[in-house]
Amino acid sequence: MRSPILELESAIAAAPYRIAPEREQELGDWCDVEGVFLDIVDQPGFTFHVYPLEKKIQTSIASLEFLWSTTYVHLVLYDEYAQAQERGEDAFDTGGTQRSAAAIDLAKWAVGNIFGSGKQPWPDNFVRPIAEPVHHSDVHVANELFLSAFAWIMHHELAHIRLGHGVAITSRSQEEEKEADVAATRWILEKCHDSKQLQKRTYGVVAAILSLKAIASPGTRDVLQTHPPTFERIDYCLSEAGIDDDNEAYAFAACIMQIQLASRGVSVAHDGSSFKEIFSEYLIEFSKLFR
């Protein structure tokens, strides 16, 4: 097999439907009428493109590998951060355990690959996606979160078609990107009434946007400059989700933001009283960095 990510290929193809089973029929009918299809190519660079005229949404093996790997590292770091807090530790070492060090190595490999040939084999002995992992293992949780994140990105691309947005990828406005974000978030959340399901899907939205953040290095600025700043995207998507201020999705986002701020040499002692307030404080710190 070209890549272990392809062990999940049928789940990947089904993900936009499975994320919101209550709208499966609606989505299927619309895709049939429009003739929309997913095209997975094998090329370097971060690829999530929609071609409205051809009704094609294109991604790449390297991009899927990247999305899985960054999702994996974010969830491992979040879990370890929570454990450190429970132990009452005031400092958190991101690569301090074998588990987190391995996760970071994997994410570094995936980033290097996407900017390199895009065709490097998944390194031996590295943690990897498998079709049927042990229930509740890190790989199992990563698979689920990856599929939710992928589904949300697909719904973002589908929204560009549905909303009749411009044909050229480069000329799309931030306004159109925000519309697609909001439409994708609504699609997967608005007709769901199961709180556990809602939570899982909301984590998927956050995981997707956090991964997109990880690709926003200088080399890809031209690709990503049309999109609104990452953490603002999380902010308005979570507002759209209508979750309460102490929802763990805010904690997840805030934790990864704090780790990213720390890696840029900014340490902030937060005094927010809810996860949303803490998230908002980090949002402000981030905006200061780019002023």
Q: Which of 267, 284, 277 is nearest to 247 (CA)?
A: 277
Shortest Cβ 219–Zn ion spacing (Å): 19
Shortest Cβ 181–Zn ion spacing (Å): 8
C-beta separation of 126 from 106 below 8 A: yes
Written as one letter, the residue type at 13 is: A
Q: Which of 206, 194, 187 is nearest to 145 (CA)?
A: 206
Angle at 205 between CA 211 and CA 175, to 5 degrees: 90
Q: How many residues bind Zn ion (CB under 5 A)?
A: 2
Q: Please report, as residue ranges, which positions from 10 to 49 form the binding site for Zn ion (by CB under 5 A).
A: none
In the bound state with Zn ion, the residue whose beta carbon lies nearer, of 149 and 180, is 180
String marking each residue 124-163 x if it binds Zn ion according to CB under 5 A: ----------------------------------------
In the bound state with Zn ion, the residue whose beta carbon lies nearer, of 94 and 226, is 226
Q: Which of 186, 121, 197, 135 is nearest to 158 (CA)?
A: 186
Shortest Cβ 114–Zn ion spacing (Å): 18
Shortest Cβ 177–Zn ion spacing (Å): 5
Which residues are CB-contacts of 118 (< 8 A; sequence separation ≥ 6)? 42, 43, 44, 45, 60, 61, 62
Shortest Cβ 180–Zn ion spacing (Å): 5
User: Which range in 25-33, 62-70, 169-177, 185-193 contacts Zn ion by CB under 5 A?
Assistant: 169-177
Overall size of the chain counted in residues: 291
* Residue ranges that bind Zn ion, judged by CB under 5 A: 177, 180
